[in-house]
Amino acid sequence: MIVCSAGKALSHLLLSPPSPRLPLHTPLRRAAIDLIGRGFPVWEPYLDVAKVVLALLELCADTHQLAPSMKYGLPLVPEADACRTASQSLTHIAGARPGVLITSMAREVARYNTLQQNAQSLQLNLHLTTLYRAKTEILRLMEYLIQNHRASINQLMVEVMDIILHCVDTGHLRGGRGLNEVFPAVCSFSQVSHCPNTKRIATGSHNGTIAIYDLRNSKCQVISAHSGAVTAVAFSPDGKHLTSYSMVENKISFWQTSTGIFGLGSSQTKCTKSFSTVPVPDIVRLNPQRFPKLVWISNKTVVLMLSDGTEHRFNA
């Protein structure tokens, strides 16, 4: 009962609008922000996580303007102090409950995308929303999670990609720059592949599906690829084929991905070939750093590279 009351009190201090009794930047509010982050696993059952995360992101939305004060100014101005505290609180939340943070933010991004489709008719200026203004902070959190909580990222790879594509400038990707230039951290996962030629990104999920993002029209197609988690995906250099591999299913599959297949009428992505693969040791399955990778050596041949240096070649 005490924990419930404390959690609700902290939430109230964070979410209450500014007033003469509780200004926006006050030591009491900053203390609540700090405690929410440090004790998040305790308070979580009594919080509206989405509202808390958005409120913290709102405080971090002007980081670029406050950076000089945060980096060089001591003591910090109240705005910069609140921004720094909120950013630290989000880091604590990400470290304690990475899955909760990712799923909450992915839902908010999905809502944002829905509003974006109807922004003109609803006369909405989405540039003023928290999710738009806090993109820098959101990317910082994603990079932190990728570096420190890879197992959680593996479980929610598609949700993470949804968040990243919301935040990065997709115009750079459409213009020919690689994902490894725009946001290199996510390219360390073998479940992610970007084809600059066809402007597509493929992301394998833990439930066996593959999400294919067409950056030209901002559409996403999801295909059922494997009966177990997707370990790796890779586009051929010319973008005409996509290959996927699941070490749970011990199978590698080739998919037709030539221009004109995705997103047009009732056309569907089709599996053109499948091959059984040699089972990998349990020690590999339990270590994401040792997951097998797919590497195309020509437009027709892909190599399944295992962590011990073993290579298996397959032709599309």
Identity of the residue numbered 248: V
Instruction: Supply the angle between the helices 135-148 and 63-72 in degrees, to the nearest 10.
Output: 70
Nearest to 234 by CA among 118, 314, 156, 163: 314
pLDDT tens track for 263-294? 444 446 899 999 999 998 888 888 878 899 99
Choose among 14, 84, 91: nearest CA to 55: 14
**What value does the mean pLDDT take over residues 236-265?**
81
* Residues 272 and 288 sit within 8 Å (Cβ to Cβ): no
> Of 297, 285, 209, nearest to 250 (Cα)?
285
pLDDT bin (cut points 50, 70, 90) of residue 65 is low
Confidence (pLDDT) at 24: 87
pLDDT of residue 194: 96
Q: What share of the chain is helix, strand, coil (3-state, %, to 5)?
A: 50, 20, 30
pLDDT in tens, 155-204: 999 999 999 999 999 888 988 889 999 999 999 999 999 999 889 999 99
pTM of the predicted model, to two decimals?
0.91
The answer to whether 188 and 146 have CB atoms below 8 angstroms apart is: yes
Q: What is the CATH number of domain 188-316?
A: 2.130.10.10
The band of 217, judged by pLDDT with boundaries at 50, 70 and 90, is confident
Alpha-carbon distance of 104 to 53, in angstroms, equals 8
Q: What is the mean pLDDT of residues 135-153?
A: 95
DSSP notation for 248-316:
TTTEEEEEE--TTSTTSTT----EEEEEE-PPPPHHHHT-GGG--EEEESSSSEEEEE-TTS-EEEEE-
- pLDDT tens sequence across 69-96: 455 555 678 888 889 899 999 999 999 9
Domain ranges (residues) in the chain: 188-316
d(CA 211, CA 204): 6
